[in-house]
Structure 1
Amino acid sequence: MPDELSKNQQRLIKNLIQSKKARIKNRCFIVEGTRNVGELLNSDYTIKLVAITKEFLVSNPDFIKLLYKKVPQGSIYQLKTDELDKLTDTVTPQGILAVAEFKKTDLKDVIHGDFLVIALDKVKDPGNTGTIIRIADAAAADAVIVGKGCVDIYNPKVVRAAMGSIFHVPVIESEDLAKTLKDLQAAGAAIVTTYLGATRFYFDVNYKRASVIIMGSEDEGVSKDIVGISDEIVKIPMPGKAESLNVAVSCGVIVFEAVKQRINS
């Protein structure tokens, strides 16, 4: 049987769930649920600890075997169901969570060939951000770049919404998104920016070349300085009465146009 999770460990988990400052200080984040922890186990992320309830231990024997195979000895702990309920903000906890270390990826590590990158400018909604990471994963994009002013990528709601994809696609945080985009331009990429005032449609652009697709904030769109350095400014045609689309939906529409063009080529 695993050791009991200590009060100090419970306090750490609570802080990591609630506070970006705590996540940065400890260089760790929380992964919740069977699917997400399963994806974590099969990734190259470093796992600090895994906490499970007795009910999870009894009802998931195959997963427990995998857990003991993948997680370092002495890093699996048990806690009571009511203790887990107090720690997490998940409505229906699945009886398992893990603490994983941050993983740093350098931009130069993802620039190769006709790379495809999604960049986010002040996208603040964690559900949208997590979904965009899933889109990037599904499209085999080389990276997601998150600019300053976006939601913390290690926010538990982002990690849950990404549904394991955060362990498949590099997510790079940029303190100066405009500079990062200029570096990508210098590496041969076309900067394709979504903008409501655009006159060109997204499907009229060539995505077979190295491309960076920029998605802006839900309220304000892409910053003017980013629009100013873009190679292509595009919009999605909307003949209906809706004024706009959810940023994750818009991202999916454009990214899979890039996928279609690349497959057809």
Structure 2
Amino acid sequence: MQPLVASNARVKDARKLSRRSERFERRLFLADGPKAVEGALEVPGCVVEVFATEAATQQYADLASVAPQWTVVEDRALASLSDSVTPAGVVGLCRFLDRPVEHALDAARLVALCADVRDPGNAGTVIRCADAAGADAVVLAGHSVDAYNPKTVRASVGSLFHLPVAIEPDPAVAVRAAQAAGLQVLAADGAGEVDLDHADELLAAPTAWLLGNEAWGLPTELAELADHRVRIPIHGRAESLNLSTAAALCLYASARAQRR
């Protein structure tokens, strides 16, 4: 069978998922690259179809052997499905994975709760950091970037498929849901009253870290809903930390304290 071309109806239909509205209407998204496809294939029922070039089909024969449908496409067709500068040759068509906040928080001990995080690279990296720190879930709340944005999926390097992700339009609802689930909510705040370096006793408890927008942080009214506000000490002259860096420090501090 000949590889599908870029003008093929199935390829064109998949390409429409570059638009957020299309993704949410159909509850489908594209996972670009072998790591993402490998992670997606580990989740039963997640992958609908995998598009791959002839070269990638040979290179990733192990993935092809377990995919529900593996479709060979021309290089140009694959490139039209990827937003990467140098496509890896494999793109998965996947079903949405998010679950209700209450389900994602059930029995959780460590959670990243992102409020109005707009940068897809940051959101994907937070998901990756949460996965690496052994967190139980990530919540994207408010006007946060779409979890299924191609850049978010790619930045998570497969971690999107490793832990529950919830989407909640109202950050205050997400905070209260975390508290109702038995988690203390700690707001990462440069003006916080608690120093992260001296908070091990606090951090040992089940925790949801509340992380704000890259540019303006947490709104006062949202930060006030948290049980405590925690600052990361800055010993040099930097004004602040990148969101994903701050998330990594907070999550790992909690992971260390909880595992003692």
Q: How does 1:203-242 map to 2 (within 5 A)?
A: 203-205=197-199, 206-242=202-238
Secondary structure of the corresponding residue to residue 226 of structure 1? helix
Deviations 1:48-74 (A, max 9, x none): 11111112223x1xx324423x222xx
The CA RMSD over aligned residues, in Å, is 1.8
CA displacement at 1:35 relative to structure 2: 1.6
User: Which of these residues, 239, 254, 260, is aligned with residue 256 of structure 2?
Assistant: 260
1:114 Cα shift?
Answer: 5.9
| Structure 2 residue identity aligned to 1:254 | C
Structure 2 length as normaliser, TM-score? 0.92
Q: Take 1:86 and 1:116, find their aligned partners in 2: how far apart are those partners?
A: 38
Unaligned runs of 5+ in 2: none
CA distance in 1: counterparts of 2:106 and 2:91, whole angstroms: 35
Shift, 1:186, TM fit: 2.4
Question: 2-side partners of 1:136 and 1:224: how far apart?
Answer: 25
Partner of 1:21: 21
- Compute the TM-score of the two structures, normalised by the length of structure 1: 0.91
Corresponding residue of 1:64: 61
Q: Does 1:99 align with 2:93?
A: yes
1:4 is paired with a residue whose SS is: coil
Q: C-alpha offsets along residues 8-43 of structure 1, whole Å, 9 cap, x if unaligned?
A: 2111222112x1001011110001111211121122
- Alignment counterpart, residue 119 of structure 1, candidates 113, 117, 120: 113
- What is the aligned partner in structure 2 of residue 191 from structure 1? 185
**Residues 82 and 111 (structure 1), Cα distance of their counterparts in 2 relative to 1, 3 Å cut:** closer
Identity %: 29
**Which stretch shows the higher mean deviation, 78-87 or 237-246?**
78-87
> Deviation at 1:80?
0.7
Pick closer, same or farther for the CA change 1:54–1:3 going to 2, 3 Å: closer
Q: 8 Å contact 2:185–2:228 — kept in the other structure?
A: yes
Matched residues in 2 for 1:187 and 1:224: separation?
23
Gaps (5+ residues) in structure 1? none
Q: Do the aligned partners of 1:47 and 1:100 also contact (CA within 8 Å) in 2?
A: yes
Q: Tell me the amino acid that sits aligned with residue 13 of structure 1.
A: A
In the alignment, the residues of structure 1 paired with residue 120 and residue 182 of structure 2 have an alpha-carbon distance, to the nearest angstrom, of 31
Which piece of structure 1 moves more, 162-171 or 113-122?
A: 113-122
